[in-house]
Structure 1
């Protein structure tokens, strides 16, 4: 028997696959499609304190090798997703889910996390540090001094399982510096990577999305090499108790295999899920199992992190 079961923190999952925040997770109807698929869990739409409509349309565009988007965090607000998660805890007590959050300011970040801490939510919280928060300032995770200060403040009061979603890093020194910060805190996981920021796709002589004059996050096949590099770089550097969720460029079971080989304990699917629908979970899971059988692996722990070098 081949198993794709996995574990993050004290949580066990029947399958290592889940959606990426932003895809098939806007409301209960979409999240239920993921629940009823072969996915091992789901993550909610990244919630802000209040409802947001997001950026003007068109804000998403499929390309041959992925997508470009500038969504602007459209979501139904913190309370909507928290209420749904609390309902699921009663009806599906043996399953664990992820609650994605982002504050539009550091003050709002603390407000959101304090509400989670005070609630009965017993799943995993993912704090998105890869969205711009302050005009003129970089994404928080690119400002490691601010990141360290924010995490230090959070862990004074937040005692539940917490992970952070990261943008891609591109310099070996940045991997060293970021890991040194993350290792100071009791993080349950990191998720890498979010889309590669501020790409530009052109159709004939015109940009393809409206926000930011066409600039947007790049996802899909384009980003897999960058995603794999980030997963493996952090796997080499982080404390072993901080698990990694690999996200970026997962079209096939082979892609997922490579994320796990680089050190991922779970794998999120975004662009492919958007293009193909929740049936992608079954296809990719079966493709991964076929590959595992061919190589003689019975569990993902048999090969997780065991990338070979020349």
Structure 2
């Protein structure tokens, strides 16, 4: 019997698959679809303190090998998502991920204090990697500022918290980032958000409006980068910090490779946007078949056991 269950921070999930923040998570209707699918749980849209309309349209474009987006954090505000997941927790007894990202350090701390004082029992994903808000750099590329923020956060925050990371591209950056993250009681790191500020052209024109066409790249384009980040942090982070793998997942083989690189959970973004929540049942079946062929009964049988050439 093959099991796809997994554990993060002591919380058990019956399936290691879920959505990625930004896809099928904007409102109650979308989140309910994920909750009622084969996914193990869901993560909400990255919330700011108050609602945001986001960047002007068109701001998302599917392309043959993935997608480009410059959404600009459109969301319904922290209160909306916090109220929803708190109500759902009481009905389902499941564990959910609440994603958030402040537009300033003060806003981030204010939101986390609100969650700390609430009866929310799930996990927080602090998004340190949004590349699509004009004038706002990705915080996780500034490691001293990231360390200062996390120091202030964990001075009062006691609930399970992880961070959504941008892709890092240099071995020295993996080393330096892991040194910072290992200083804190993080529940997980999520590798990776989209590759920031790519450019896709149709004939002679960019395909999205914000930032003159610059946007985050997802899908097939980013899978090798995502796998590298998952494995690099699996090698460097203390065992208590689990890895969530995100990027380029559209087949069961992609899920298998993320887990092989060290992921305890795998999020689906671009492919979920294209296929809908039915993708979770398909990916689960394809992963199950791979595990059966290889004689694996649980994902722990092969998680992190990537082999190297002699």
TM-score bracket relative to the smaller structure: over 0.9
| Cα contact 1:253–1:284 (8 A) shared by 2 | yes
**How far is the alpha carbon of 1:138 from its aligned partner?**
3.2
Residue matched to 1:244: 243
Task: State whether structure 2 residue 224 is matched by structure 1 residue 225.
Answer: yes
Match in the other structure for 2:34: 34
**Match status 1:18 vs 2:18:** yes
**Which residue does 1:160 correspond to in 2?**
159
Shift of 1:257: 0.2
Contact 2:73–2:133, Cα closer than 8 Å, also in 1 = no
Question: Hey, what does 1:276 align to over in structure 2?
Answer: 275
Unaligned runs of 5+ in 2: none
The Cα shift of 1:287 comes to 0.2
Moved over 3 A (4+): 132-138
Spell out, residue by residue over 1:96-143, the C-alpha distance to the aligned partner (whole angstroms, 9 max, x if none). Answer: 000000000000000000000000001000000002599766311000
| Counterparts of 2:24 and 2:106, CA distance in 1 | 29
Question: Per-residue CA shift, 1:147-192, capped at 9, x if unaligned?
Answer: 0000001000000000000000000000000000000000000001
Match in the other structure for 1:55: 55
Contact 2:131-2:196 within 8 A present in 1 as well: no
TM-score, with structure 2 as normaliser: 0.98
RMSD (Å) for aligned C-alpha atoms: 1.1
TM-score, normalised via structure 1 length: 0.98
SS for the counterpart of 1:157 is coil
What CA distance in whole angstroms lies between the structure 2 residues aligned with 1:37 and 1:152? 37
Map of 1:174 onto structure 2: 173
Which consecutive residues of structure 1, in runs of 5 or more, have no partner in the other structure?
A: none
The answer on whether the counterparts of 1:104 and 1:133 sit within 8 Å (CA) in structure 2 is: no
Q: In structure 1, how many angstroms separate the alpha carbons of the residues matched to 2:77 and 2:227?
A: 32
> SS state of the match for residue 95, structure 2?
coil
Report if aligned partners of 1:202, 1:208 keep a CA contact under 8 Å in 2: yes
CA displacement 1:13-50 (0-9 Å, x = unmatched): 00000000010000000000001100000000010000
- Cα pair distance change 1:133/1:198, threshold 3 Å: closer
Matched with 2:138 is 139
Q: Give the Cα separation in 2 of the matches to 1:185 and 1:48.
A: 23
Which residue number in structure 1 is paired with residue 45 of structure 2?
Answer: 45
**Corresponding pairs, count:** 309
Task: Pick closer, same or farther for the CA change 1:132–1:153 going to 2, 3 Å.
Answer: farther
